Amino acid sequence: MNYKNFASTWLSLQASNRFLKLIIIGLVGLNLLTIIGWLKKDSSVILIPPELSEKAEIAKNKASEGYKKAWAMYTATLIGNVTPENADFVLDSFAGMVTGEIRAIVTEQIAQELDTLKQEKVTSSFDIVRVTYEPETDKVFVTGKNRMTGAGGKSDATEQTFEFKIDVKQYSPIITQMASYEGMPKLLSVLQKEEAKLKAEEERQKALQKIGANHNEI
């Protein structure tokens, strides 16, 4: 037997075994880290809202644009289509959608409007025309045509916009901001133009006052 070759081969096998052991230990550690990361990771649920053709994704504390648009459409449809018979149901349903910080204010305002509809036996209908998401403010604007129907007949359609800011907490959507008004959506670009126009008017008025003051001094 060639002991020199045998010893060399034996040492090579031992080195290979040590190398393989290190590889196995590394793979086991990588698998453990993967499992831990997977367990800690917020799972995501892919949803396809019936109102939209786009996919909507929701995780534990966040949601995609599509999900927020779908939820805003649902809420606008709920509170925009009211009859004397379902007014109480609408109010109870809506109260569970808003955060505690604004629940008292918003629900009181809507309660007054719904109470008026019940007393006057008026039905409100809202047909959605478009839905706009604004990434800069994370707001959703639902714009449509509003009509009132009562004993005196049906009113002309007016343009109305519902404005929402929707967050997600523990996989549940919650409305943190809401507004309702006539007309087009008050997008950030629109508000900035209005602010610039108002500022320009103020500067013009100041200039006119200064000219008037100088004229009086003369």
pLDDT in tens, 25-60: 767 766 666 666 655 555 555 555 555 556 666 666
Please give the residue that has the higher pLDDT: either 104 or 148.
Answer: 148
Report the alpha-carbon angle 171-177-179, nearest 5.
135
All structural domains of the chain with their residue ranges: 45-197
Q: Measure the N-to-C terminal CA separation of the chain; round to a whole number of Å.
A: 125
Nearest CA to 94 out of 102, 183, 182 is that of 102
CATH number of 45-197: 3.10.450.230
- When pLDDT is cut at 50, 70 and 90, the band that residue 165 belongs to is very high
68-82, 106-120, 126-140: segment of lowest average pLDDT = 106-120
Nearest CA to 68 out of 92, 89, 47 is that of 47
Tokens (6 digits) for 136: 């800069």
Q: Is the model's pLDDT at 179 over the cut of 80?
A: yes
Helix (H, G, I), strand (E, B) or coil at 41: coil
Residue 216 and residue 205: Cα distance in Å, rounded? 16
User: Ranked by mean pLDDT, which of 7-11, 37-41, 119-123, 141-145 comes out on top?
Assistant: 141-145
| pTM for the model | 0.67
Q: Are 68 and 177 in contact (CB under 8 A)?
A: no
| Residue found by looking up tokens 């087009």 in the block | 184
At 207, give phi and psi (nearest 5°): -65, -40
